[in-house]
Structure 1
Amino acid sequence: MRKKLLSWLAAIVAAVPVILIPAAAAPAEAAGPAMLPLTVTNNSGRGEQVHLYVLGQYNGRMGYLNASGQFAAWPGGGNPPTPAPDVSIPGPGGGASRQLNIPIGFGSGRLYMSFGEKLKFFLTPNGLVQPAPWNPSDPNRNILFDWSEFSYNSLGIWLNSSQVDMFSVPHAVEVTTSGGSTKRTGELKSNGRNNFFNALRNQPGDWAKLINTRSDGTVLRAFAPRLGIESGSFSNTYFDGYTTQVWNTYKNTTLTVVPIRDEPNKKYTGRVDGSGVMRFTNSSGAQVASFQRPSTRDVFGCDGRLAAPDGVVGEIARSLCAALHRSTLGYIHTAPTYNPAEFYTRGITDHYSRKIHAQMVDGKAYGFAFDDVGGFESLVYDPNPRSARVILTPF
């Protein structure tokens, strides 16, 4: 099932994309249990107290869950934002687990986990202000934390780890099916966290500037390049030469986009015209989409000139953005391509995403917004789950 990048709340301090599946109202006959057990296991090897938060949407309202799965809506906030109530749940100690319960119909969800210190959330009259540590003034900047994203409804459970905004706390996600089998992803290789940061430090250019280290020497996280651009630590022209080359290539070469893998006959062809616009037509010759050459920020964010609304335009935009991140566009003239050996092979590529994928046991990660193009995202789904699990893995 396709996922979308959506703004989770109108009152977020900075743009915080959430990878999610739209929450459906649960019918009387639901596939999974009314309360889905979600177990958090702490195999991190760290000694700090872990704090958990379960935030999301239920029955059209934004709010939070307690450990038993009881939902409460956020109270009204102020302007300037006022502190939100403490809705933290004590997490498991080293080697232990803590069970949470998720009611069916709970969607757009995030499970936050912080180490040592509780997170600070705030409320405005319009909603919740979530942590945004890429903002130097954010009160959560020096806290070690991360999150998983999920939706649980009548169609099943979707649960993923995400590095779209940042890479920080390594954790695997797992679903147990009604038949007792398990699906798991997001697990790093041995010493994968350190290897990732070392690789980023050694990558020429601005990549090392994406790493955020606390004054005590703790490496907290690496920000995604689009957030590095917003903070001024990463070049806002990084992809410009590559996108210019791509747009020039398709002045004389046809690009074929087949956006849905299971529908090979649904295809669109694109050429760049004399005005510099890449125009796509369907099999009948009718124009269905057009794209101006995107900026570096557009590519890293998969938005702006690569914005992906519902429908044909969005399907083509997703394919273009994934191919640019993976540096296949302009070299392979059918998009998307599904051979990971062809990804990230050029000097100008998304090295942040490349290095995250390289450290995953199964090679899957959510290194950018449309990493799900081709099924390369770190997501587990099951239509009839028995339980779910998030495992904080060693680091």
Structure 2
Amino acid sequence: MPSPRSLHARPSRRLALALLSPLAVVAALVARSPTVHAAPATATASVPATIPLTVKNDSRRTEPVYLYNLGTELSTGRQGWADAAGVFHPWPAGGSVPVPAPDAAIPGPAAGQSLTIRMPKFSGRVYFSYGQKLVFKVATGGLVQPAVQNPSDPNRNILFNWSEYTLNDSGLWINSTQVDMFSVPYAVGVKRPDGSVAGTGRLRAGGYRGFFDALRGQPGGWAGLIQTRGDGTVLRALAPGHGIEAGALPRDVMAGYIDRVWAKYAGETLTVTPFADRPSLTYYGRVSGDTMNFTDGSGTVVTSFRKPDSDSVFGCYKLLDAPNDQVRGPISRTLCAGYNRSTLLANPHQPDTSAAGFYQDSVTNHYSRKIHAQMADGKAYGFAFDDVGAHESLVHDGNPQQAYLTLDPLD
């Protein structure tokens, strides 16, 4: 079924507004988020105004933990934050110069303990940080969020991460995400009406250290994505698009693969069937010069893409922009998945949804590849459209009884 664009708004990746600035404005909480699939318009369950979220601290870390529940109130469209009781508080008006936001921190559970707060009907993020509170500011465009690819970001040396969710009348969607960075591990879950719990986001045993070790060993500059602080603590690995922005990854890191794709489809046809439930709806791509044109069954050109660069591929934006429509967006998300997973040369019929064929080329999104390899269930949001073929780390229920977020050890 069509996507509602994501928890928040969806990634054109990334409303470009944000991520070249020192901090990201959440008018695009939004912008860099993975896709959350829409529920049917007719909800069969009555979802209450808030549901419990139990945060369990299995991290084995001794620092205090701070929680933040930030997002957009679905009934009004206002941006704000929710307190521990799930009560919504709108952000005050900001100015052209960002000003400090109200302190929205909720003291989190100590190591080995749990804390239950309430989640309102939001499209937003649950941040958690270790040892220090995060710095948020308010600008004219909305909330200013961490953008740690910028060395001057005040959150640069804080150990933190976030989960993303939408709770509405049709249920809860909650995910773990690595679209922006891979950092302190956590798992998410939802309790169903029958008492069972569906979960995702958990790493394999040793997966946290295993990921960083694997990234350090990857030739081609990929180790440059890893950020540490002065005391030697590994803080995170930037997603490759942010790495390019920060000068930590070569700008042409995907160029060899993109060039080969361009050459192949100058002489062959790339067939894209973007909707699994509409197998007869097919588009046909051919390269002509600097442009890949897609036609429908009648031969009419329906959309065209210029040859993308590496950043466009990693971000699924710019030259691979994916508007929330029924033609260009679905074709773009298919191309984005094919580039990141390096399946476009091996299979001229896309999307290729079999994980066995992913990341087999030497030029690929090694960041996403190594994340998936360390996940207990193989699922992750290694890039914005990792949900193509249902390989994303997302759980959903139409009548959620409770949500869970477990802070896992850094092993």
TM-score by length of 1: 0.95
Q: State the shift of 1:103 in Å.
A: 2.1
**Distance between the aligned counterparts of 1:65 and 1:166, measured in 2?**
24
Q: Is the 8 A contact 1:11 1:128 kept in 2?
A: no
Q: Is the 8 A contact 1:298 1:305 kept in 2?
A: yes
Q: Is the 8 A contact 1:271 1:280 kept in 2?
A: yes
Q: What SS does structure 2 have at the residue aligned with 1:123?
A: strand
Listed as ranges, the matches of 1:179-218 within 5 Å are 179-218=194-233
1:283 aligned partner: 297
- Greater shift in the superposed pair: 134-143 or 33-42: 33-42
* AA at the equivalent of 1:297: D
1:259 aligned partner: 274
Q: State the shift of 1:262 in Å.
A: 2.1
Q: Does the C-alpha gap of structure 1 residues 20 and 239 become closer, same or farther in structure 2, counting only changes over 3 Å?
A: closer
Q: State the shift of 1:165 in Å.
A: 0.5
> What RMSD over aligned residues (CA atoms) do the two structures have, in Å?
2.0
* AA at the equivalent of 2:182: F
Q: Does the C-alpha gap of structure 1 residues 70 and 28 become closer, same or farther in structure 2, counting only changes over 3 Å?
A: farther
Q: State the shift of 1:8 in Å.
A: 7.8
* AA at the equivalent of 1:287: V
- Out of 335, 342, 345, the position equivalent to 1:320 is 335
Q: State the shift of 1:268 in Å.
A: 1.1
- Greater shift in the superposed pair: 315-324 or 70-79: 70-79
2:318 aligned partner: 304
Q: What SS does structure 2 have at the residue aligned with 1:385?
A: coil
**Distance between the aligned counterparts of 2:302 and 2:360, measured in 1?**
31
Q: Does the C-alpha gap of structure 1 residues 20 and 246 become closer, same or farther in structure 2, counting only changes over 3 Å?
A: closer
1:66 aligned partner: 83
Q: Does the C-alpha gap of structure 1 residues 29 and 328 become closer, same or farther in structure 2, counting only changes over 3 Å?
A: closer
1:168 aligned partner: 183
Q: What SS does structure 2 have at the residue aligned with 1:208?
A: helix
2:398 aligned partner: 383
1:230 aligned partner: 245
Listed as ranges, the matches of 1:146-157 within 5 Å are 146-157=161-172
Structure 2 gaps of 5+ residues are: 26-30
1:292 aligned partner: 306
* AA at the equivalent of 1:123: V
Q: State the shift of 1:269 in Å.
A: 1.3
* AA at the equivalent of 2:315: G
Q: Is the 8 A contact 2:43 2:170 kept in 1?
A: no
Q: What SS does structure 2 have at the residue aligned with 1:31?
A: coil
- Greater shift in the superposed pair: 73-82 or 216-225: 73-82
1:135 aligned partner: 150
1:98 aligned partner: 115
* AA at the equivalent of 1:345: Q
* AA at the equivalent of 2:316: C
Report Cα offsets for 1:52-91 as digits up to 9, x if no partner.
0000111210000000000010012233211111110000
Q: State the shift of 1:9 in Å.
A: 11
- Out of 35, 59, 63, the position equivalent to 1:48 is 63
Q: State the shift of 1:19 in Å.
A: 2.8
**Distance between the aligned counterparts of 1:306 and 1:284, measured in 2?**
24
Report Cα offsets for 1:203-261 as digits up to 9, x if no partner.
01111110001111110000011101111111111111211110110111111111112
Structure 1 gaps of 5+ residues are: none
2:373 aligned partner: 358
Q: Does the C-alpha gap of structure 1 residues 8 and 291 become closer, same or farther in structure 2, counting only changes over 3 Å?
A: closer
1:89 aligned partner: 106
Is 1:5 aligned to residue 19 of structure 2? no
Q: What SS does structure 1 have at the residue aligned with 2:266?
A: coil
State the number of aligned residues: 391
Q: State the shift of 1:126 in Å.
A: 2.7
Q: State the shift of 1:272 in Å.
A: 1.1
The sequence identity of aligned pairs, in percent, is 52
Q: What SS does structure 2 have at the residue aligned with 1:86?
A: coil
Q: Is the 8 A contact 1:20 1:151 kept in 2?
A: no
* AA at the equivalent of 1:285: G
TM-score by length of 2: 0.91
